[in-house]
Amino acid sequence: MCEECGCGHTDPSGEVTHFYGKPMVAVVKLAEAMKNGDMIKVEGATTEFTMTVQGMRNEQEQEIDEAAAGELVAFKTPEVARPGDKIWLTMREAGSE
């Protein structure tokens, strides 16, 4: 559950499907909308870190500002993420609904 923001999420906002180690890029299947600037927590059996989403790209490798639930997106991470790691939205970018 998302305890950091107190929002009460019980379901993750997405899941890592692939991770590319050399560029440190995670591919994530979104369960809810996400924008550049959103703060997320990446959590798994051996993974736990928070980060701000920046430079999100879609499946056509175009840089995008936001993505909807069900989309696959990719973005750089500061640490290793692993397939199956859960993504928790902890704080929306200012001005987001």
Beta pairing partners, 29: 15, 72
Q: Is residue 2 part of a domain?
A: no
Residue by residue, pLDDT tens for the chain (97 residues) are 445 555 555 789 999 999 999 999 999 999 999 999 999 999 999 999 999 999 999 999 999 999 999 999 999 999 999 999 999 999 887 655 5
The domain spanning residue 42 has which CATH number?
2.40.30.10
Q: Is residue 5 part of a domain?
A: no
How large is the greatest C-alpha to C-alpha distance in the chain, in angstroms? 35
Per the listing, tokens 């993420």 go with: 81
pLDDT at 1: 42
Question: Angle at the Cα of 28 (from 25 to 33), degrees rounded to 5?
Answer: 125
- Residues spanned by the domain of 61: 14-91
Q: What is the pTM of this model?
A: 0.86
Tell me how many domains the chain contains. 1
